[in-house]
Amino acid sequence: MAKIIGGLTTSHIPAIANAMANGLEETPYWKPFFDGYPPVRDWLNEKKPDVIILFYNDHGLEFFIDKKPTFAIGVADEYHNADEGWGIPTIPPVTGESELSWHIANSLVEDGFDMTICQEMKVDHGLTVPLNLMWPGYNYGHVKVIPVCINCEQHPMPQPKRTFALGQAIGRAVASFDEDLNVVVFGTGGMSHQLDGERAGIINRKFDIECLDKLVTDPEDLTKYSNLDLVEIAGAQGVELNMLLAMRGTLIGQVKELHRNYHAPISNTGSGLMLLEHTMPEK
């Protein structure tokens, strides 16, 4: 049986890749952020997951505002970065995984989640930055990645209640896959931030920390918020909390917090790194 052995949350902002490319990790600005990562990298290197399911949002690259799947899943063998950022970087492709991807896609549709299923998909910083953070130097080629994309850019967006339910459905789908695979789930992005408009730059530390606490102990409580609540409390891009919630939804057994590092601001965001160990429920 495939097993989800853990879940983690991490920022995905493009400035991180730029800081890594320029060796800025030890500078006073970046150090409190990067200092959080070694324990998570060590855990991943020790556990050696076969597959990563990665929730991210496409920031207008593959899915622009004229065509926006609410939820999309990649089933390709490979994903190429096409994010412009500081000019399109030539980074290695991300390795895909087609069997478990198709199994999840099929069971989600059967379970009432009408996914957009992508046999080809260009990816952006939402996917590549977290992978590079965990395996620096873009050394992530050995791990198979299943991208799951949640619309967090263009209203109407799926509500927290629904993204949490999507995660739970993915948790059930993994549990019903026969092959012995160890899976880790990434929820990327967040936390509070707003990139434009009058409230650009707002950060709500208190709310971010409350969300991290609740993600461990009572994630369902976070589904009481609507996306408009999140915009008000945590800024227009605070809705990226949906990716963290979807990750937590997949952890349908017992969780234990192994590590956390909250730091704000980093670029325009509150950054919440958290590692949760997961034990699958008894069958």
- Specify whether 59 is catalytic: no
**In which order are the strands placed within the sheet that holds 3-10?**
116-118, 71-74, 144-150, 51-56, 182-188, 3-10, 269-279, 254-266
Residue at 12: amino acid letter: H
- Specify whether 103 is catalytic: no
Interaction of residue 151 with ligand DHB, rule CB under 6 A: no
Say which residue the tokens 């919630």 belong to.
245
Q: What is the C-alpha separation between 204 and 19, in angstroms, rounded?
A: 24
Query: Which positions from 170 to 189 touch Fe ion by CB under 5 A, shown as an x/- string?
Result: -------------------x
| Residue 51 or 203 with smaller CB distance to ligand DHB | 203
Say which residue the tokens 């509150």 belong to.
270
CB of 193 to ligand DHB, least distance (A): 5
Residues 103, 193, 263, 278: which is the catalytic one?
A: 193
**In which order are the strands placed within the sheet that holds 78-81?**
94-95, 78-81, 122-123
Among 6, 7, 14, 36, binds ligand DHB (CB under 6 A): 14
Among 59, 68, 248, 263, binds ligand DHB (CB under 6 A): 59
User: Which of ligand DHB, Fe ion, none is residue 15 near (CB under 5 to 8 Å by kind)?
Assistant: ligand DHB
The span of 13-21, 38-46, 94-102, 115-123 binding ligand DHB (CB under 6 A) equals: 13-21
Query: Using CB atoms within 10 A of its CB, is residue 258 exposed (0-12), middle (13-18) or buried (19+)?
Result: middle
Say which residue the tokens 């080809």 belong to.
120
Residues 125, 142, 263, 278: which is the catalytic one?
A: 125
Residues 6+ apart with CB under 8 A from 11: 33, 129, 130, 188, 189, 190, 266, 269, 271, 272, 273
| Number of other residues whose CB lies within 10 A of the CB of residue 186 | 27
Among 163, 188, 227, 268, binds ligand DHB (CB under 6 A): 268
The span of 101-109, 112-120, 248-256, 261-269 binding ligand DHB (CB under 6 A) equals: 261-269
- Angle between helix axes 125-134 and 14-21 (nearest 10 degrees) is 40
User: Which of ligand DHB, Fe ion, none is residue 9 near (CB under 5 to 8 Å by kind)?
Assistant: none
| Residue 51 or 72 with smaller CB distance to Fe ion | 72
Residues 6+ apart with CB under 8 A from 139: none
Of residues 160-189, those binding ligand DHB (CB under 6 A): 189
Interaction of residue 267 with ligand DHB, rule CB under 6 A: yes
| Residue 15 or 149 with smaller CB distance to ligand DHB | 15
Catalytic residue numbers?
125, 193
Contact residues toward Fe ion (CB under 5 A) are 189
Contact residues toward ligand DHB (CB under 6 A) are 13-15, 59, 189, 193, 195, 237, 240, 267-269
